[in-house]
Amino acid sequence: MGQREYLATDRQVEEDRLRAQARLIDPLTRRVLASAGLSRGMRVLDLGSGAGNVARLAVEIVGPDGGVVGVERDPDAVRSAARSAQDAGLSNVEFRQGDVETLAGVDGRFDAVVGRLVLMYLGDPAATLRRAASLLHPGGLVCMHEADFGYLWSSADTPTWQQLKSWIVEALARIDANPRMGPSLFATFRAAGLRDPEMAMEAAVGGGDRAYAAGWANVARSAMPLMERFGIATADEVQLDTLTDRLLAEVHAEQGVVIGPCLYGAWTTV
């Protein structure tokens, strides 16, 4: 089973979305990496590095004596992540175009392998973890951060929120992605032959001015080409230009909160 199609098809729209998403969930990933034991001086392999956000978090933790190698299949994303790292003055992180399921051309040994929102798009995530773990030194760390899209996205379980969730979850299903990869991590680690992982779950939550409905609207914007291709919804139905305002109106009417990607961290050593 190969790597599945990605939810977003427009690279610039997706880069904008990932940057906004990073501001919301990077603190969650940073806490998972710290809890897992990522530390100074480690050499880290980042699976499905995308815009490079997790790689940069790892670099912050491992410091100048460590290093990070990010593997990403999209060449445009690799170039963009490399430019961002260069602009930030990071000389100990590199991004390579490659297939995370084969890791062909990835040489040397690592102290840790990490990844965020990547296993959900793989045909055989356990095989990928098994292969990545084989590149680790004894005692090396495997730490993954994956989402659960099956929970309530807002305490205001209202028509617009329900419709948005159904559209996006259906789009994920059409590309055979796993919208509940987070809760599946325990079984996936076992299937990979790894030790039972420690786990944590966290979501960013906010109401009032901190109700981040724009994040979910941005997911719809990224998924819009797929939704139209599969006949799930049209741009006229989704009304992207007003979607955030409509979502917020329903939340504020109930003095509710927006919940936001519910992320499961899982980590173990080999």
Encode pLDDT of 181-204 as tens digits.
999 999 999 999 999 999 999 999
pLDDT at 106: 94
pLDDT at 1: 45
Domain ranges of the chain: 11-269
pLDDT at 22: 75
- Long-range contacts, 237-241 (Cβ 8 Å, 24+): 238/167
Paired tokens of 211: 């109700």
Paired tokens of 51: 């815009």
Minimal CA–CA distance to 50: which of 19, 29, 28? 19
The CATH code of domain 11-269 reads 3.40.50.150
pLDDT at 13: 57
Neighbouring CB atoms inside 10 A of 252's CB total: 14
pLDDT at 261: 87
Q: What is the block-wise mean pLDDT of the chain (270 residues), using blocks of 10 residues?
A: 52 61 87 98 97 94 97 93 91 95 93 97 97 97 96 94 96 94 98 98 95 92 94 96 97 96 96
pTM (2 d.p.): 0.91
Residues 134 and 18 sit within 8 Å (Cβ to Cβ): no
Going by the DSSP 8-state scheme, the letter that residue 221 receives in this structure is H
